[in-house]
Structure formats: structure tokens, C-alpha cells
Amino acid sequence: MTNAAITGWGACMPPAVLTNADLSTFLDTNDEWITSRTGMSERRISHVSAQELGAVSAARAIACAGLDVQDVDLIMYGGCSNEEVVPNSASGVQLLLGATKAASVDINTACTSFLYGLASASAMIQSGMSKVAVVVGVELISRYMDWSNRNVAVLFGDGAAAVVLQASDEPGGVIGTSLGCDAEARDTLRVRGMGAGYTGFGVTYGDMIWDFDGPNIFKRAVRGMAEASDKVMREAGVTADDIDLCIPHQANLRILESVAKHAGIPMEKVIVTVQKYGNMSAATVPVALVEALEQGRVKPGSLMLMPGFGGGLTYCSLLVRWGQRVTPLGTSDRELRPATKTALEMVNEIRSKQDPHGRSREGLMAPVFSDSKVGAA
Ligand code: ACO
């Protein structure tokens, strides 16, 4: 059987840091609340597009695999904060990379987009449809955040990372997947203002309003990730003792701890980045994977569990068996252009465009879906 080995990896984190103290300059919040409820101390705000973040991370992953951009036949772009819907974002990454032979696909399952993309691209390689795939997890949430809402504004950040998958006869890569969706709870997380349901109804840039039932999402996230992890381990015939590393979606430290406890995996085996990057949605798992590799925590043959959940509410858990190589074959000289503003300056700029329209638009936005069963506000 053909396997899909992970042979390259690379991250691209925007340099500007938004601290909890920065957030408390314009929100009724404080460092104590944010760190005790979420584990987050800071997050990044991007000065470039999501496609640029994605392209730089992909270039680094391709160099790490010792490949040329022309070797890539598939780009899978996982994320939900795309700059545009048409044209898609993967085509923008293809252009920025110069990877002209690559099919270019966007995949949006919110925070699980990278993991769903990894599962899908692995299956395409296993079927023979693709030989060299790049899977990118990338988000630019700062641009569609409702910065007046402390319930959500403190939780998210920007970032990107990518992996390269290659057809291989060696066993390894994604060896188990469990994908699911708790659609009954899809109304617990909605970003009003994004999508065709709003376009043409007078809703303009910056009019984002988040419906966000944090405690309900919390409970369902733990349940979804725990059940998916149980299932994927059971089906692969492995137990928690066999897991070398757990690389979960990073939405809240307390969620990570609950999922690890349920699975019977000690926290020493869990990669945690939420304290410094917050929730980067689709980018959290690949960024954590890259950091684990850079810190030497991934060993040849490591068995990894990757649980995730996101809007939808989609959930999943993947089992990945790492190959023999844990060091890069090459490096890329692709860099982001320098940021000229601080994170707080960038956020204040976005806030100034959102106000004064955003909050007063709620009444206008709700009727958009009034004659539709799906998405009724
Ligand atoms: N600063 C200060 N106080 C706050 C803040 C804030 N930033 N946000 C909320 N509060 C207040 C609330 O108003 C509430 O006050 P009240 O009791 O006077 O009404 C109080 O803090 C408690 O709020 P809760 O919602 O009960 O706090 P909880 O302990 O549940 O933590 C949190 C909230 C962090 C959002 C948690 O529920 C959570 O992490 N949920 C999951 C979120 C998540 O995973 N989101 C991602 C979804 S999918 C994706 O990744 C896209």
C-alpha cells in the first residue's frame, strides 16, 4: 500500500505580539481573567495576508522536504478566514510559491481545517491521485474579529504552518482518522457578516458580529475530541500508553487538560502553545507540530494523537506515525516583510474601521436568514 509520509514542515508566525495588557487597553478584561480561564498570555497579529503567511510556511516546508516547488502537485489550504471566496486562497498560495503544477483546493471546517485537509490529502496520496501534497493551516482571524466583544476577542490569534506529504512505501503518515460533526450545535459559533447570506444586504467590511456560546462549545469540544480519540485509538489497536505525543487543537488550556485526562495521556506528552499564540484556529495543530519538531520532541517513529474541534461543530482525531527523519533536508530564505506597526496599532486600526457601524447593524443582519431554516438567527 502507498503511504503518505510527512517529509517537510514549516511555520510562519507574524512577529507582532498582542498581550493581555494590550487587550485591557480597550476591553473590560484583565490578565488574571484571561490567563486563569484560558491559559493565554499573548497572541500574534499579522501585518500581511493569510495567503502570504501560508505561502511562506509552505515554502519552508517544501525546502525542509528537500523538494522544489515544481514537485508539488496539490496544495490543500485549510482555514476559515480567507481573504476572498472567489478566487480561492489555495490558488493565491500557488501563485506566491510559483508552484504551477499544483492543483489548489480550499478546505474549510473552521478550526479543524488543517486536520481535515491532512486526512484528505493523505487519502489522495494513498489512492495515487497525488504524489506530493502541501497541506497548509492558516488563519487571519484579527481581520474578522469583533474587537468590541471581550467574550471572543481575547481568545484568537493569527498564524500559519504547513506540512509536505509524499507518497512512500514505508509505513507511516496518517494511520487513523476519526472525523465527525456535531451539527445540532452549529448555532453555538457563528460569525455574522461573512458569506453570501449577508452580501448584498448592506453589510459591509467590519460589520462582524460573533454568536459564541463559550461554555457550551467547551463541553461539546471536550466530548467530541475525547470520543474521536477513543475511536481512532480503538480502531488502530493502540492505547494511551502507546501515544508518544498529543498535539491537540489549542483553544483553551483547560480543554487540552480535559481531553488529555480523558484519553489517559499525561500533560508531559501534550504539546501546548496556547499561552503564546492563543487560538489560531486551523493553524494551531501544524504550528504546534513544527515547534515539537524544532524542540526535538518528535523522535523517529513517534506515534502522535491529534484531536481537534471547530465551528460546525466539526471534530476529529488523527493518529500519525512519524517516519525516521526528524531534521530538515533544507531551509528556505523566504521571509515576511518587516512589520511597521505594533500589534496594538494594527488592532486599533481594524477597530476604527469597525466602529461606529458594527454594533448597530445587528438588527439589519438578522433578517437576512429569516426565511431560511438553516442558519436562522
Ligand atoms: N474578561 C473578563 N471577563 C470576561 C471575559 C473577559 N475577556 N469574557 C467573559 N467574561 C466574563 C463573562 O461575562 C462572565 O461574567 P458574568 O458571570 O458576570 O456573566 C464571566 O466572565 C464568566 O464567563 P464564562 O463564559 O462562564 O467563562 P468560562 O469559564 O466558561 O470561560 C471561555 C469562557 C474561555 C470562552 C470558555 O468557555 C471557553 O474556552 N470555551 C470554548 C471556546 C472555544 O473553544 N472556542 C473556539 C471554538 S472553535 C474554534 O476554535 C473557531
Mean pLDDT taken over the chain:
92
What pLDDT, in 10s, does the model give residues 285-320? Answer: 999 999 999 999 999 999 999 999 999 999 999 999
Flag whether pLDDT at 375 surpasses 70.
no
Q: Residue with the nearest Cα to atom 12 of ligand 1?
A: 151
Residues 51-68 have a mean pLDDT of: 98
What pLDDT, in 10s, does the model give residues 97-124? Answer: 999 999 999 999 999 999 999 999 999 9
CB 74 within 8 A of CB 124: yes
Nearest to 126 by CA among 5, 263, 285: 5
Q: What percent of the chain is predicted at pLDDT more than 90?
A: 85
Q: What is the pLDDT of residue 203?
A: 62
Q: What is the pLDDT of residue 277?
A: 98
Please say if 88 is a catalytic residue. Answer: no
Distance CA 60, CA 330 (A): 8
What pLDDT, in 10s, does the model give residues 61-76? Answer: 999 999 999 999 999 9
Distance CA 197, CA 205 (A): 14
Flag whether pLDDT at 130 surpasses 60.
yes
End-to-end CA distance of the chain: 48
Distance CA 99, CA 94 (A): 5
**CB count in 10 Å sphere of residue 198:** 20
Candidate from 43, 181, 213, 218 with most ligand 1 atoms within 8 A of CB, to mutate: 218
Chain-centre distance for alpha carbon 358: 26
Q: 352 vs 298, which has greater pLDDT?
A: 298
Residues 148-164 have a mean pLDDT of: 97
Q: What is the pLDDT of residue 197?
A: 74
Q: 151 CA to middle of ligand 1, Å?
A: 5
Q: What is the pLDDT of residue 353?
A: 79
Q: 155 CA to middle of ligand 1, Å?
A: 9
Please say if 279 is a catalytic residue. Answer: yes
Residues with Cβ within 8 Å of residue 5, at least 6 apart in sequence? 165, 166, 167, 168, 170, 172, 173, 323
Domain boundaries of the chain, sorted by first residue: 3-328+337-354
What pLDDT, in 10s, does the model give residues 93-103? Answer: 999 999 999 99
Residues with Cβ within 8 Å of residue 271, at least 6 apart in sequence? 245, 246, 247, 248, 288, 289, 291, 292, 297
Q: Given the residues 47, 82, 246, 249, select the one marked as catalytic.
A: 249
Q: What is the DSSP letter of 123?
A: H
Q: Ligand 1 pocket, 36 CB below 6 A?
A: no
What pLDDT, in 10s, does the model give residues 176-198? Answer: 999 999 999 999 999 888 877 77
Q: What is the DSSP letter of 38?
A: H
CB 336 within 8 A of CB 278: no
Q: Ligand 1 pocket, 110 CB below 6 A?
A: yes
Q: Which CATH homologous superfamily contains domain 3-328+337-354? A: Thiolase/Chalcone synthase (3.40.47.10)
Q: State the pLDDT confidence band at 208, using cuts at 50, 70 and 90.
A: confident
Residues 334-351 have a mean pLDDT of: 95
Atom of ligand 1 at shortest distance to CA of 279? Answer: 50
Distance CA 305, CA 330 (A): 27
Distance CA 18, CA 170 (A): 43
Q: What is the pLDDT of residue 366?
A: 47
Q: What is the pLDDT of residue 354?
A: 76
Q: What is the pLDDT of residue 15?
A: 98
Using DSSP's 3-state secondary structure scheme, residue 320 falls into strand
Atom of ligand 1 at shortest distance to CA of 150? Answer: 7
Cα distances (angstroms) measured from residue 336 to each of 16, 69, 79, 199, 332: 12, 18, 19, 32, 12
Q: Which of 129-138, 142-151, 293-302 has the lowest mean pLDDT?
A: 142-151
Q: What is the pLDDT of residue 206?
A: 57
Ranked by mean pLDDT, the top range of 198-207, 266-275, 354-363 is: 266-275
Distance CA 194, CA 26 (A): 24
Q: 16 CA to middle of ligand 1, Å?
A: 24
Q: What is the pLDDT of residue 374?
A: 47
CB 216 within 8 A of CB 196: no
Q: State the pLDDT confidence band at 201, using cuts at 50, 70 and 90.
A: low
Q: 323 CA to middle of ligand 1, Å?
A: 39
Q: What is the pLDDT of residue 259?
A: 95
